[in-house]
Amino acid sequence: MFSINTKILIIDDMPSIRDLVRNQLKAMGFMEIYEAEDGEEGLNLIKVKYGEAQPIELVISDWNMPKMKGLELLKIVRADERFSKLPFILLTSEAEREQVTEAVLAGVSQYIVKPFSGKVFEDKLKTAYSKHFKS
């Protein structure tokens, strides 16, 4: 599982969802949590933190946001050699097969359908971790 010192970025245009995800992460013991309101702001923060030698180590992003959707952000992140292996979880209220397939093909680490329980959230984090850091 991710270390409690993992630098996590939550990207969602809804403050209530960011609060929900942040509170869930804190309940799991995580302490280094950053937030962004949309994909553009999130991408900028990923780049800034990388430049500061404090790289983001996990992204949890909403799918539907203004300016840049989560799937578009995922594709940009995967295309950049610096971030191509960054664990990336998409939050979505849509469970349509073709959207999930598109996210999987784009390299999503895991996706979580809203609303979600604490157990589902934790299980998805564990699965994303094992996908990137096989023991």
Q: pLDDT for 53-107, tens place per residue?
A: 999 999 999 999 999 999 999 999 999 999 999 999 999 887 778 888 999 999 9
Looking at every residue in the chain, the average pLDDT score rounds to 95
Q: What is the mean pLDDT of residues 10-15?
A: 97
Judge whether 33 and 55 are in contact, CB under 8 Å: no
Between residues 134 and 57, the one the model is more confident about:
57
Angle between helices 118-132 and 15-27 (to 10 degrees): 70
Which residue ranges make up each domain of the chain? 8-132
Judge whether 65 and 13 are in contact, CB under 8 Å: yes
Percent of the chain with pLDDT over 70: 99
Q: Which CATH architecture has domain 8-132?
A: 3-Layer(aba) Sandwich (3.40)
Give the predicted TM-score (pTM) of the model.
0.96
Task: Enumerate the H helices of the chain as residue ranges.
Answer: 15-27, 39-51, 70-79, 97-106, 118-132
